[in-house]
Structure formats: structure tokens, C-alpha cells
Amino acid sequence: MTQDYDEFGLFEENAAEAGLPWTGPPAVRRESVEIGPAQQVSALVWGEGRPELVFLHGGAQNAHTWDTVALALRRPLLAVDLPGHGRSGWRADRDYWPARNAEAVAAVIGRLAPDALAVIGMSLGGLTAIRLAARYPDLVRRLVVVDVTPGVTRAKSAPITEFVQGPETFGSFGELLERTVAYNPSRSVTSLRRGLLHNARPLPDDRWTWRYDRLRPPGGQLDFTGLWPDLAAVRAPVMLVRGSESGVVTEEDVQEFSTRQPGGRVETIAGAGHSVQGDRPVQLAQLIEAFAPRP
């Protein structure tokens, strides 16, 4: 019943699917931060206290990708919609890459979560977090990078890119769900439907489209190797979390990560693909809790 969508009405379903106890709806609200003329970034604020953790989603996702992780953590936190994603504004220049993202996220953290203990970023959000930690060290006290390194290439991320760069509109929600299920055979239909309700929207003609601007790599190439020096410049403790079933982070990438961050921690979550937060949210929450414990 997509016409009855309530973005804050699906949390009980998240909890049930992950086997988490349900004690009633969590306190979650939307905040918006103006980061420039006619530019705003939206975020979800979980809990009543000052956010202890900041979460950055991957490309073509949105802040709700972290819902089950947030329910498992039960801590005050901030989940940001990156520019061009979710409820955040779109950029006229369509520059949704780490350097510009980091500038926007820095403004949001400075306003909504200046005392956060850690920043957690997945995929494009992880690359953004690396840049953020290098350029705004006062805002990143600990860094968790989920299933990505600056060594990611189009070849390594081919299945993900193929899905994301598919059709921009669909004849119905059912058509959109069918394609998503085909590309995510290991995920439950329930979880994929929930994710689509957060990440797509109906058009006036009853067709459906994504709730993000299309990502267009400069020159058509994915090249983030310039972020390796940024990773080396990070002085905060760093943890890299891989999905065992993902090919985005190779052993060579892990070796380079360890060279750039000799004291960095590397963890692999069994049974998880690239979207670790969707495949194994409770296990990811446990790693985050151990790495950035409550004050």
C-alpha cells in the first residue's frame, strides 16, 4: 500500500526482521541545514540527546539505509542524506563526489552533531568520510569506513553500477520492486520493498522514479585514488569493515589501507555484500559499538 507511506512508520518492521526487541516507536525527527544559497541538506536525528554518531550512506541510497543499525545501537545519532539524495537538495553542477560532499557534511555536523564520537560512512559515504576526516579533523574523532577504499574502480563495483545506472522511471512500484529483487537475490522482498519506499517516489502520471539525482562520474571514470593521501592524513582511529561477499574491497586494497593507516583495524562481516548495513545490520552495529563505545 504505497499510497500510505509514512517514512517513520516502518521501524517496527525493521526491528522484527532483524530480531530486535520492539519497545515502541523511537524518537526520530528530520532536520534541514542550509549550506549555501538555495542549498539544503536534510538529516534524520535519532534520540533526544546530542548525537554520538554520524552516518553517511552510499551513492543512490539515503539516510534510511541505517534504520536497522540505529535501532540496534539505541543511541542518539545523526543519519545524513548526502546532497542529491533523499530529501536533500540537488546541485546544479551535479558534483556529488567526496570533496564537495565533505564540505556539505562538515556544515551539517558542525550544526547538528559537533560532539559526535565517530563518523561512519559506507561506499560513497565512506569516501566522503575519509575526505571529511582529513580536512575537518575536529569533526571526526573516530572513523568507520564500510566496504570501500580509494582503490574502488568501475570493474570492482560493476554489479552495483549496473543496477544504479538502470532505468530512471518505472511503470509501477511493482516493476521497480521486481528489478530490485532481481539484483539483490540474497535480501528479503520485505526489506527491499521498505528500502524502495524510502528511496523512490511516485510521479503525477503514476509512474515511479528514484529519490536521488543520477550520479555521473567526471569523464565517465570512477577514480578515487587521490583520496589515498587523505586516508594517510587521518589522525583519528580508523576501522575498515568489509562484507565477505563483496568484491568492492580486494586484498590489495586492504594492504594499501594498512600501509596508509598502520594502526587501522580491519573487520570482515560474514554473509554481507557491499551494503553491509542492509545485509548484516546487527553485526555492523556491534562492531561500531565496540569501536566507539558510549561515553
| Catalytically active residues, by annotation | 123, 147, 274
Cα–Cα distance for residue pair 274/39, rounded to 1 Å: 30
Among the listed residues 168, 161, 131, 38, the one whose alpha carbon sits nearest the alpha carbon of residue 93 = 38
For strand 39-46 and strand 77-80, is the pairing parallel, antiparallel, or unpaired? antiparallel
- Residue 49 sits at φ, ψ, to 5 deg, of -85, 180
* Cell of residue 68, nine digits: 536497522
In terms of phi and psi (left: phi > 0; alpha: psi -120 to 50; beta: otherwise), the region of 24 is left
In terms of phi and psi (left: phi > 0; alpha: psi -120 to 50; beta: otherwise), the region of 38 is left
The tally of CA atoms less than 13 A away on the side-chain side of residue 127 is 25
Cα–Cα distance for residue pair 191/188, rounded to 1 Å: 5
- Residue 267 sits at φ, ψ, to 5 deg, of -130, 145
Q: Considering all CA atoms of the chain, what is the largest pairwise distance in Å, rounded to the nearest integer?
A: 54
The single-letter DSSP state of residue 172 is S
Q: Is 19 exposed, middle or buried (0-12, 13-18, 19+ CB in 10 A)?
A: exposed
CA distances to 32, 62, 82, 107, 244 from 42, rounded to whole Å, are 4, 10, 8, 12, 32
Total residues found in the chain within this entry = 295
- Residue 231 sits at φ, ψ, to 5 deg, of -60, -40
